[in-house]
């Protein structure tokens, strides 16, 4: 009895495991397809923005950044598509095993069913059945024989239904198998095209890098100068934030020096709402892609040089509107020598900074709402670059925008 229970438990566990694996594979396939579509849209966005600025003579630095980003997206797309194709291959193999097992089961079922039909045909004579019952030694045996005849008939009917069900299941799996094979062929074909595009981008990247290396010292000097300028602006922003912190602490009657904002109950609530939207904040521009990410990273031109980015650089379209990523108060419109205007918005003890604007629509003290236009991104007239620099601070500490902005 215990042995039968253990066998039953094992069968149930195996079935549950199969169902769980099936759901897991289905969810994984769905996630991969969503990611693949996102990457394809990203490439379309890059192509569209590059096409709009095609007439402009891009700087070598901008071109390298664009190539690097596009190549990384193409690599990601190929990787995700390969994962999808591999998952479909596993599903195809699993379905082929199921088909083999079902065919074996059907062969046995049909043989048993055929034997039953033959036996039923031989015993279908009503007189034979009556004689079978009347030849019983007693009533108890006659009753058992009657039950046997009923069970045999029921089993025959169930056998027929099982054959029908397994045949339908086999047809369904076969149809699904054909669909999966078609999906895999489509993915493989698309991947070949993406790989061709990737090779083309890589060759152009290599040609450009070869021309840059001839004058690497000039470009290295340009990179160092740009980094120095970025550091100067970042120091000024930090100084302004520290002044705002000191002001808030003084207002709250906190005489001790602090690197954190003293918040009112309303500001605490705003900061809490800002935190609860981490990973869900909208992009500061409607269209765009990140060309330089947050953190310290090697220069794409001279790997011996490092670039420190307190935020992200977003390439966007000409005359692009800049949007507040969350409700808040415009705490400062920053204008620094040799730099385009910046807008600083306070969200409790969090601050978002929008750099390199050509127009500013708001003024200090304005309350803004999520996705409200606050200005326009500056477009460099010499090369057509329209770049927004976007930073998030918690008090004076810069944060990684990719962790806050939706799908960045």
CA nearest neighbour of 339 among 299, 378, 291: 378
Cβ neighbours around 390 below 10 Å, total: 25
Per cent of the chain over pLDDT 90 is: 37
Range scoring the smallest mean pLDDT among 61-65, 145-149, 350-354: 145-149
Whether pTM > 0.75 for this model: the answer is no
Enumerate domains of the chain plus CATH numbers.
21-213 (1.10.287), 226-403 (2.70.70.10)
**How far is 11 from 8, CA to CA, in rounded Å?**
5
Per-residue pLDDT, averaged over 32-52, amounts to: 83
Q: What are the CA-CA distances from residue 4 to residues 8, 12, 14, 71, 77 (Å)?
A: 6, 12, 15, 59, 50
- Mean confidence (pLDDT) of the chain: 83
Edge to edge, what strands does the sheet with 373-377 contain? 321-323, 373-377, 357-360
pLDDT at residue 202 tops 70? yes
pLDDT at residue 131 tops 70? no
Residue 136 has what pLDDT?
66
Per cent of the chain over pLDDT 70 is: 81
- pLDDT bracket for residue 219 (50, 70, 90): confident
- Dig out the tokens for 312 from the structure: 């992200």
Per-residue pLDDT, averaged over 103-111, amounts to: 75
Residue 151 has what pLDDT?
72
Is 234 within 8 Å of 310 (Cβ atoms)? yes
End-to-end CA distance of the chain, in Å?
59
Residue 4 has what pLDDT?
45
Residue 121 has what pLDDT?
53
Is 329 within 8 Å of 369 (Cβ atoms)? no
What is residue 389's three-state secondary structure?
strand
Residue 257 has what pLDDT?
67
Residue 92 has what pLDDT?
81
- State pLDDT tens for residues 267-320: 999 999 999 999 999 999 999 989 899 999 988 888 888 889 999 999 999 999
- pLDDT bracket for residue 223 (50, 70, 90): confident
**DSSP letter string, 23-40:** HHHHHHHHHHHHHHHHHH
């Amino acid at each position: 009895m215990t042995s039968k229970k253990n066998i039953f438990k094992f069968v149930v566990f195996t079935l549950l495991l199969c169902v769980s694996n099936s759901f897991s594979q289905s969810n994984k396939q769905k996630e991969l397809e969503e990611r693949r579509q996102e990457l394809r849209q990203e490439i379309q966005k890059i192509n569209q923005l590059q096409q709009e600025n095609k007439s402009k003579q891009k700087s070598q630095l901008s071109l390298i950044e664009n190539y690097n980003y596009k190549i990384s997206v193409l690599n990601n797309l190929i990787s995700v598509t390969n994962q999808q194709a591999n998952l479909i291959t596993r599903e195809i193999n699993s379905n082929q095993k199921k088909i083999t097992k079902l065919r074996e089961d059907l062969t046995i079922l049909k043989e048993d069913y055929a034997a039953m039909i033959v036996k039923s045909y031989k015993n279908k004579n009503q007189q034979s059945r009556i004689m079978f019952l009347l030849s019983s030694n007693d009533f108890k045996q006659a009753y058992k024989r009657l039950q046997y005849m009923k069970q045999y008939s029921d089993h025959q009917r169930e056998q027929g239904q099982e054959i029908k069900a397994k045949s339908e299941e086999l047809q369904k799996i076969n149809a699904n198998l054909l669909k999966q094979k078609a999906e895999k062929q489509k993915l493989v074909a698309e991947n070949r095209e993406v790989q061709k595009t990737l090779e083309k981008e890589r060759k152009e990247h290599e040609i450009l890098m070869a021309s840059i290396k001839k004058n690497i010292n000039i470009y290295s000097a340009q990179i160092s100068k740009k980094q120095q300028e970025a550091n100067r602006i970042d120091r000024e922003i930090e100084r302004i934030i520290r002044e705002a912190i000191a002001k808030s602490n003084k207002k709250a009657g906190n005489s001790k020096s602090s690197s954190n904002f003293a918040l009112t109950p309303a500001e605490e609530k705003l900061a809490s709402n800002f935190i609860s939207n981490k990973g869900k904040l909208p992009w500061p521009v409607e269209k765009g892609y990140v060309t330089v990410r947050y953190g310290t990273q090697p220069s794409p031109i001279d790997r011996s040089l490092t670039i420190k980015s307190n935020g992200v650089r977003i390439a966007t379209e000409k005359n692009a509107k800049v949007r507040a990523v969350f409700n808040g108060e415009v705490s400062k419109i920053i204008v620094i020598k040799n730099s385009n205007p910046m807008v600083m918005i306070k969200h409790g003890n969090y601050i978002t900074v929008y750099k390199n604007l050509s127009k500013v629509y708001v003024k200090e003290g304005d309350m803004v709402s999520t996705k409200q236009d606050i200005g326009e991104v500056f477009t460099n007239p010499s090369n057509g670059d329209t770049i927004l620099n976007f930073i998030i601070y918690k008090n004076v500490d810069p944060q990684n925008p990719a962790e806050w902005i939706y799908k960045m």
